[in-house]
Amino acid sequence: MKKYLFFDVDGTLYNHDKIIPDSTLKALEIAKNNGHEIAIATGRAPFMIKDILKELNIHTYVSLNGQYVVYNDEVIFTDSISKETLTKIIEFGSARNEPVVFLDDAQMIASKGEKEEIAISLATLKYPYPSIDATYYLNKPVYQTLIFTDEEGEKEYREQFPDIQIIRWHPVACDILPKGGSKARGIQKIQQFVNVPLENIYVFGDGLNDVEMLSYVPNSIAMGNGHTKAKEVARYVTDHVDENGIYNALKMLELI
C-alpha cells in the first residue's frame, strides 16, 4: 500500500555541508520505485528548496513550517501572522535594535542592512544577505518572519506576544508563526486533501521545528544527529544523517 514519506531538509536530507548523502539518494529512489510518495516538510521557503525538489522530482511539500502547503504542485493552504500583530512585533524588536526578515514563497527581505546576526544565521543555510525593505510586509503576503535575538530576548518576545509561536533554529535566530502553525498542521492539510489514513504517513526530522510533526504522526523517525527534544517525541531514532540514517530507517520500516 502506498505510503506518504515527509522529510525535513536540513539535518535530515541535507548533511552539515548541505549535501544529500549517496545512501539517502539510493533509499529514496528505491522507496519511489516501491510506489511510495516522497514529500518535503521544511522550515525553508519554496524558493529555497527549488534545487532539492528538482533533484528528487518532488511535487508535494510543507514549507515555511506549515504556512505554505503544496500538493502535486497545487497550493492548498497558506497562513500568516496578521499585519497588525507583525507591526507590533517589528516595533518591539526595533526598539531593541533587533531586525526581522520576511519570507514569502519567492524571496526573503530584511528590515535592516548590515546586521551581523542576519548574515551569520543565513550563512548556515548558505544564503546571502537579503535585499532590504522595512515595509515589505504591508504590501505583500508574508508567510513567515524571522526575528533575531538570544534566548533571553526570546523569553521577552514570548511574554509580550503570547498569541504567536516562536521556534529557535540558530543561537541568534527564530521563526515566528501563527499560534498553532507547524509542520504537523501542514501535513494534516495534505492528509485531509488526499484523504489518506494517518498510519500511511511517515515523518523524518531532527530539529525543534520537527517536534510537532514527530509528535502528531505515529510513524515518526528522528535523526541520530537530531535535537534531544526531537528524539524524545519520535517513535524511532535512526542513525546520523552521514551514517546512512535515512537508508537504515527505511530499511527498518520495510519501506525499502
Q: Which residues are catalytic?
A: 8
Q: Phi/psi of residue 235, each to 5°? A: -70, -40
**In a 10 Å sphere around its CB, with 0-12 CB exposed, 13-18 middle and 19+ buried, how is residue 127 labelled?**
middle
- How remote is the C-alpha of 198 from its chain's centroid? 20
Task: In whole angstroms, give the CA distance from residue 182 to residue 63.
Answer: 10
Grid cell 525499502 — which residue?
256
Contact partners, residue 120, CB within 8 Å, separation at least 6: 170, 172
Which residues are 38's β-sheet partners? 5
If you ran DSSP here, which 8-state letter would residue 97 be given? T
Give CA–CA dist 103/81, Å, rounded: 12
Say whether 119 sits in a helix, a strand or coil. Answer: helix
User: How many whole angstroms separate alpha carbon 104 and alpha carbon 216?
Assistant: 26
* Number of Cβ atoms within 10 Å of the Cβ of 51: 9
Per-state percent for the chain, helix, strand, coil, to nearest 5: 40, 25, 40
Task: Give the whole-angstrom CA distance, residue 76 versus residue 193.
Answer: 8
